[in-house]
Amino acid sequence: MTAVEQDVAVTAALAEWAAALRFPDIPAATAAFARSQLISTLAAVRAGWSHPLGRRLVAALGRPLEVDAKQSAAVLAGLANCLDFDDVSCVGHLSVSTVDVPIAYAADLDLSGADLLTAVVAGNECAARLTSATILGPFFRAQTAAHCHQMGAAAALLRAREAGAAEWVSALGLALGLHSTPVSGAVLDSDLKMLTATMPVRQALDACDAARAGITGTADVLGGDDGLLARLSGVRIPGGMLSGLGTRWHTDTLTFKRFPGSAYSQAAYDCAQRMYRQHGPIEAAAVRRIAVHASLLTWLLDHKVSGHVRGPLTPVTAATFCTGYGIATLLREGALGATDFTPAALADPARWDLAARVEIVHDMALSERMVRATSPLGQALRQAGPAAAAWPELMAWAGDDIAGRLAELGPPEDTFEHATMAIGARVELEFSDGTSVSEDCPVAIGMNGPDTRRDHPAIVRRKFLGAGGRPGVLADLERIDTLGPAETARVLRAALADL
């Protein structure tokens, strides 16, 4: 089989599997994760909509569920993306497309709750496989990974419409054939980040409508020297698109954030919140230094964003990625939410005085734990095998013996039933009087692993209520897979009606 034939076969096989997926095919634990993903995403949308940036997006593009479904999906994606409060999987940010599209189309397509969750899972599994095949590329794609949003939006809508496999292939060819690459400096230094979800989602939905009308897309968009995988991949991961279909569910790797901001900062935020609870508000004058011992990814994020942090003049997006600002806010206020990224909060010099005392220190032991977990790199490195040695970011972890370190990781995981994410942190606070306190968090609350598999319904329950969601609506969302189309549409509207 030629390379092109292989690439065509990959797209066709993925389309055939996703088109045939039904709710009873989804394991109960995976469906439960998708239900929590829906609730968590609605909480992120609510948080984004409550923020001035979110309100400007709604003013520009329309109120979700009050404009047409396609426009609603695009606006919801931007709102979920606004404050980096969406959940993440082992390959990144799926929900801004895979959840928001079925929410937007639920009424038009008469989706039952089970239909909606099936579309979410289909979107997750397709978007995750594309993203996993390209994850060992440039650092800091994160929420700006347009290909993830394009695939997730297209797959979720096609599954919700019960499109045939041939329509799937054409729609994916159109959706992925025109790929945008956001400029990271522009994302960090302006309000662009919301649109890095809004625009790819809208583009993908337009592609689905075009395919439905008979406009054809290429079946080998992924492959060849000029295909999408070659353009996006620093390291090609063989078999990443199809391996484990129906047995290894990427939905099972979801992590649910308690705080707006990067997943790489959540453990440090847990530490800071514990310090506040033990010591009360902490002012900059009382502090000499705050050392955050963290993994390679947290350290890289700090270096990436540092040039865009300008105290009270810091843009909202850069602030959500700034671990120091989040820690300072938690040490002073005991909480970190949407209101902490408003102009008034960002203008507070006391927060930035304390943030200036935060130093991110790369801790090799924490990087070792991070890499050996499933997420966010362990599975990708295992799938890539020796080829991962070509990824530049690996040097800081592997050193000179890259081949040996990769071999130690062992084979890829056959299922994600026992998946883990281990982006830990240790925060040491040195006071001006010479005393010090420290907190250690190997795994943040909500991060994928056994505790989250047990507790994720309670975690997202608190998140939804904390974002102002009503208890009665939450109760209905928690049983959405039992609801018919009319009730499903009603509950989704109620989840956002008071904004």
Which tens digits make up the pLDDT trace of 234-286? Answer: 777 756 778 889 999 999 999 999 999 999 999 999 999 999 999 999 999 99
Between 33 and 5, the higher pLDDT residue: 33
pLDDT band at 138 (very low <50, low <70, confident <90, very high): low
Task: Look at residue 48 in the predicted model and tell me its pLDDT.
Answer: 98
Q: Are 3-253+451-496 and 263-363+423-444 the same fold in CATH?
A: no
Mean pLDDT of 417-445: 96
Check pLDDT > 70 for residue 7. no
Q: How far apart are CA 295 and CA 367, in angstroms?
A: 4
Task: Look at residue 4 in the predicted model and tell me its pLDDT.
Answer: 45
Let me know if domain 3-253+451-496 sits in CATH 1.10.4100.10: yes
**Where exactly are the structural domains of the chain?**
3-253+451-496, 263-363+423-444
pLDDT band at 58 (very low <50, low <70, confident <90, very high): very high
Q: How far apart are CA 256 and CA 446, in angstroms?
A: 5
Task: Look at residue 8 in the predicted model and tell me its pLDDT.
Answer: 60
Check pLDDT > 50 for residue 2. no
Mean pLDDT of 359-381: 91
Task: Look at residue 462 in the predicted model and tell me its pLDDT.
Answer: 98
Mean pLDDT of 189-214: 96
Check pLDDT > 90 for residue 390. no
Task: Look at residue 28 in the predicted model and tell me its pLDDT.
Answer: 98
Class of domain 263-363+423-444 (CATH, top level): alpha beta
Check pLDDT > 70 for residue 434. yes
Task: Look at residue 132 in the predicted model and tell me its pLDDT.
Answer: 84
The mean pLDDT value of the chain amounts to 92
Check pLDDT > 50 for residue 212. yes
Task: Look at residue 211 in the predicted model and tell me its pLDDT.
Answer: 97
pLDDT band at 34 (very low <50, low <70, confident <90, very high): very high
Task: Look at residue 343 in the predicted model and tell me its pLDDT.
Answer: 96
Nearest to 133 by CA among 120, 159, 117, 151: 151
Q: What is the pTM of this model?
A: 0.95
pLDDT band at 1 (very low <50, low <70, confident <90, very high): very low
Could you tell me whether strands 287-294 and 358-362 are parallel, antiparallel, or unpaired per DSSP bridges?
parallel
φ/ψ of 390, rounded to 5, equals -80, -5
